[in-house]
Amino acid sequence: MAWLPLCAQNEFSESEAGSKILALENAWAQAAQIKDVKAMDTLLDDAFLNVAPDGRLMTKADVLADVKSASVQQFVNEAMTAKLYGNTAIVTGIFRMKGIKDGKPYLQRGRFVDVWIYKNGSWVAISSQATPIAH
Amino acid sequence: MAKLFCVVLLLLTVPHAFTQGAASTQADESRILSLELAWNHAVQVKDTKALEMLIAPEMAYIEYDGTLMNRAEYLGSVASRSVQAEQILCESMVAHLYGPVALVSGVYRETGVKNGKPYLHRERFTDTWVLRAGNWLCVASQSTLIAR
């Protein structure tokens, strides 16, 4: 892909892009909650890499398979902020996930950083990492 | 410590190859990986001056326990006497360039002493670097403990 200097090829204003990306973050959380693999497929780049809260490194295929098999009852994002660097955006925030694993209910709260790139006219996530909040 | 400061300065001032096409991608990736190693060393020797040159003013740092720190808080934690990182080893580290932004992911093992007690952490990390005025600066860094 040919890259131009920062902002030279942007088709969007910074505030528009920020709002759009935060909306995509919420769509991602919703897709995880309702097991909408198709929606998630469009949000993640094929080269997407995820670091799960237990430190596992997952590819896009791993994440999609995980969404299918998981039993998430609620997935909500809090305190998100997006920073734009040309055609790349970095989102930091907190997620709260409630569900059932191995027959037992769980509640997990963690901090995340997601990186998005603007590619072929749309934003796709290329990286995500989650760290459980210990206290 | 002065030596490390000079190494970081040198790494930062080498003209970046971003505008020179795809062939230069590898050079930028190598440079960023060198900056990662310089960062590890700076933490070990508590060289906050060198660290200041590597991280952007707006950097968000997420510690392995989920604590969110800004740049000043992070530098303060490195300088703190309650924690002494004795060894930081990167087991694997890969850089991917997306134009003026680079992602570095990897695993590192850190041993040290915290509040008088020895510790060993194995963590997966992702660092996001941005090319700004010819220098690569880290804007986000996050670690997650690897469950054993």
Residue A96: list chain B partners with CB under 8 A.
none
Q: Do B66 and A127 touch (CB under 8 A)?
A: no
Give me the architecture of the B2-145 domain, per CATH: Roll (3.10)
For the segment A65-76, what is each residue's pLDDT rounded down to a tens digit?
999 988 888 999
Q: What percent of chain A has pLDDT over 70?
A: 91
Residue numbers of chain B with a pLDDT score lower than 50: 17-18
For the segment B5-45, what is each residue's pLDDT rounded down to a tens digit?
555 555 665 555 445 566 688 889 999 999 999 999 999 99
8 A C-beta contact, residue A104 and residue A126: no
8 A C-beta contact, residue B64 and residue B143: yes
CATH of span A14-132: 3.10.450.50
Q: Which positions 72-91 of B are in contact with A (Cβ < 8 Å)?
A: none
* N- to C-terminal Cα separation, chain A: 43
Query: What are the boundaries of each domain within chain A?
Result: 14-132
Q: Is the pLDDT of residue A83 over 90?
A: yes
> How would residue A6 be classed by pLDDT, with cut points 50, 70 and 90?
very low
CA Rg value for chain A: 15
Q: Which residues pair with A49 in a beta bridge?
A: A59, A127
Residue B125: list chain A partners with CB under 8 A.
129
* pLDDT at residue A107 in the model: 93
* pLDDT at residue B74 in the model: 97
Residue B145: list chain A partners with CB under 8 A.
55, 131
> How would residue A1 be classed by pLDDT, with cut points 50, 70 and 90?
very low
Q: Do B66 and A111 touch (CB under 8 A)?
A: yes
Residue A129: list chain B partners with CB under 8 A.
124-126, 142, 144
Name the H helices within chain A: 14-34, 37-43, 60-69
For residue B73, report the phi and psi dihedrals to the nearest 5 degrees.
Answer: -65, -40
* pLDDT at residue A2 in the model: 39
8 A C-beta contact, residue A23 and residue A29: no
> How would residue A15 be classed by pLDDT, with cut points 50, 70 and 90?
confident
Q: How far apart are CA B148 and CA A52, in angstroms?
A: 14
* pLDDT at residue B61 in the model: 97
Q: Is the pLDDT of residue A133 over 90?
A: yes
* N- to C-terminal Cα separation, chain B: 35
3-state secondary structure (DSSP) of residue A74: strand
Q: What average pLDDT does the structure give for chain A?
A: 90
Q: Is the pLDDT of residue A30 over 80?
A: yes
Q: Per the structure block, which two tokens stand in for A119? A: 């590619």
8 A C-beta contact, residue A53 and residue A110: yes
Q: What is the 3-state secondary structure (H, E, C) of chain B?
A: CHHHHHHHHHHHHCCCCHHHCHHHHHHHHHHHHHHHHHHHHHHHCCCHHHHHHHEEEEEEEECCCCCEECHHHHHHHHHCCCEEEEEEEEEEEEEEEECCEEEEEEEEEEEEEECCEEEEEEEEEEEEEEEECCEEEEEEEEEEECCC
Q: Do A127 and B126 touch (CB under 8 A)?
A: yes
Mean per-residue pLDDT, A54-75: 93
Of B18, B101, B146, the CB nearest to A88: B101
| B93: contact with A, CB 8 A cutoff | no
pTM score of the predicted model: 0.87
